[in-house]
Structure 1
Amino acid sequence: MAKPATGTLASVDPNWEPPACWYEPVLSPEELKAGVEKLKGTNNLAPVNSHLLWADELFVNHYDKGQDGGYKNYNLGEKGMFWRDVVRAGHEDDIAAWDCNRIMFWQDAGTVPDDPNAPTPKVLAAYAYDKIRVPATEIELKPMAKSTVNLPTWVWLDKGTFKEVKVRAELPNTGLWAETTAKPVALHLEPGTADAETYPASGDCRINEDGSIGTPYTDGDANETPPCGIRYLRATNGDPFRLTASITWEISWEGSGGAHGVLPDGTFETTRDVAVREIQSVNR
């Protein structure tokens, strides 16, 4: 059985997006030493941050011999981890990704770096926001094949279609975590033409407690006003209207240390073609 289609959220705030980069623990002293040993005698390079690669000699000088403010013997026996920057997938070429330009550094266990790009529960919440996947907006229309000028088209979704979606993000060995929750709150309809009316007039259909939207069409409702729907005022005459249906999701989060807050609402939209015909009359 095929899985239902899902998609990512687009923030309603065009000026907000999750951070392009942050720091997190990547290697223990033992893991770093083992990695450098494998690098020795080869022509290979390894990342010391997301933008810089080193050969084995530089790693040995800095992390084994302690040169240039480095470390002795990979800090073996110390409690902690070596940290390095992480760049959000798909944003490797962003200028903002260069803000995390420190080479791999040591951080004592149970502490986080004193750095503006250090991870916090809010940073993890934003990261989780980026990983949220919500169901596609597959609305039901009646009539399905063609709408009729000046007669309402009913729009609805069965109950249970839209439920809260939760994504948890945590950093091992730090105690930092956050859980981001997306709650569906409204369906917005854009008819695809100015020659149409929406129900309600705002085009925003609230999502019911059971996850349904609107009311299913039943025989005899053709001339009734739907709680969620559209009335087209002219026919398409060949080219269908592009009906856009978008779900708004409210975003909240909670995290370690009692931290909590909200992030900008997200939307996910789909489109479908709607053909509209004139009412046919017969003269006798």
Structure 2
Amino acid sequence: MQGMTTSRAVLRGPALALSAALLALSGVAHADAPGDNTTVPPPQSKPGGSTDGKGKVSAGVSQIQISQVKGGGSGKRGNLAPIDTDWEPPACWYEPVFTPEELKEFVDRSDGQGDVGIHQSWYGKGLWTDHYRDGKAQDNMDDDRTEAEGYENYNIGKGGNFWRSVAPDDSHPDSWDCGRIMFWMPDNQVPRIPNAPTPRMLAEYAYEHVKVPDTEVEVRPQAKSTVNLPTWVWLDEGKFEDVVVRAELPRTNLYAETTAHPVSLTLEPGTEDAETFPAGGTCRINEDGSIGSPYRKGSADQDPPCGITYLRASDKPYELSASITWEISWEGTGGAGGDLPDGTFETTQDMTVQEIQSINR
């Protein structure tokens, strides 16, 4: 019929095992898969990465606000790598994205094109109005295939917010743990469901946004060492200080501040034919933010508080690795707090080691 529009629900990700559930959706349901099963969303729509300029259309864009409270410096910086390689930040969670009035305005303005969950996009106004305006139930995308009750007129007049799942990486297997389609909650209430946001979750999210200064150590001699003579390693005072990052979730009272505190520098000479000072290669960071002591003329034969002695000359430069270990703690809403896995930031530089019997330094 001329003028008739079609509503479509697009399931994103490895959805073949779930395809039967799509039959319950109004309109035509499609699952992404190779070959003829691949569905291209309607022209001018952008599944997964779309945004209305406020980050409200895409389930891949979080509303969490990040700010650098302290430290980090203005030079070259980088992200921390957790020492515990099994630790990961949260793969998905729920957060408020629309008031009832904002949801109605979005549906009318966009003609109903956007994400209703991490792995489900609705294209066509009918799907949205059926569920959020006219009270028609829909299926959630959770393991139990629970039913999501419909709403009358977007719950306008009741206040509150509609919450939706969010995943920074929707290809992560655990992103399927947040399977509820967008749902309403009263003002000042956080849902009591798995993967609801908490201060700790925000602290873990902030961890991913901690940027620490580059580890550029001073060495003497510079970039060229001599067999059996110590290479002194140090960093000037004030180079390293605490870095604090704050994460806040708008429309809630939830926040967390994650603090990275520098504790030590670890040296890896790049060869087994070397000795480190102190033994083990870990140099503590001093209270003034410095590491080790600067080399002074006449100290060539002394053991440095932080350094390396190479025992064999190199045919090609050794790769000296210097990594700072940062202890991570957090505090947040209601006095909550705790620790997160230590993190490291590593840089490398080439060290040429020469055989010289007599040298003046």
Aligned to 1:66: 135
1:180 lines up with 2:254 in the alignment = no
- Corresponding letter in the other structure for 1:32: L
Aligned to 1:143: 221
1:46 lines up with 2:146 in the alignment = no
The one-character-per-residue Cα deviations of 1:138-178 (angstroms, maximum 9, x if unpaired) are: 00000003100000000000011111000111112211111
Aligned to 2:351: 274
Classify the secondary structure of the residue corresponding to 1:249: strand
Contact 2:107/2:113, CA 8 A, preserved across alignment: no
Aligned to 1:82: 162
Aligned to 1:248: 325
Q: Flag as ranges the 4+ runs of structure 1 deviating above 4 A.
A: none
Q: Residue 281 of structure 1: CA displacement?
A: 5.5
**Structure 2, unaligned runs of 5 or more:** 1-72, 138-148
1:202 lines up with 2:280 in the alignment = yes
Aligned to 2:88: 17
CA RMSD of aligned residues (A): 1.4
Q: Distance in 2 between matches of 1:120 and 1:101?
A: 18
Q: Distance in 1 between matches of 2:257 and 2:231?
A: 39
Classify the secondary structure of the residue corresponding to 2:270: coil
Name the TM-score, length of structure 1 as normaliser: 0.94
Q: Which has the higher contact order (CA 8 A, sep 6+)?
A: 1
The one-character-per-residue Cα deviations of 1:89-147 (angstroms, maximum 9, x if unpaired) are: xx221111111111111011111111110000110000010110001100000000310
Name the TM-score, length of structure 2 as normaliser: 0.74
Aligned to 1:131: 209
Q: Distance in 2 between matches of 1:92 and 1:188?
A: 36
Classify the secondary structure of the residue corresponding to 2:320: strand
Q: Distance in 1 between matches of 2:77 and 2:358?
A: 43
1:216 lines up with 2:294 in the alignment = yes
- Corresponding letter in the other structure for 2:283: C
Q: Residue 29 of structure 1: CA displacement?
A: 0.8
Aligned to 2:193: 115
Q: Residue 219 of structure 1: CA displacement?
A: 0.8
Classify the secondary structure of the residue corresponding to 2:208: helix
Aligned to 2:7: none
**Structure 1, unaligned runs of 5 or more:** none
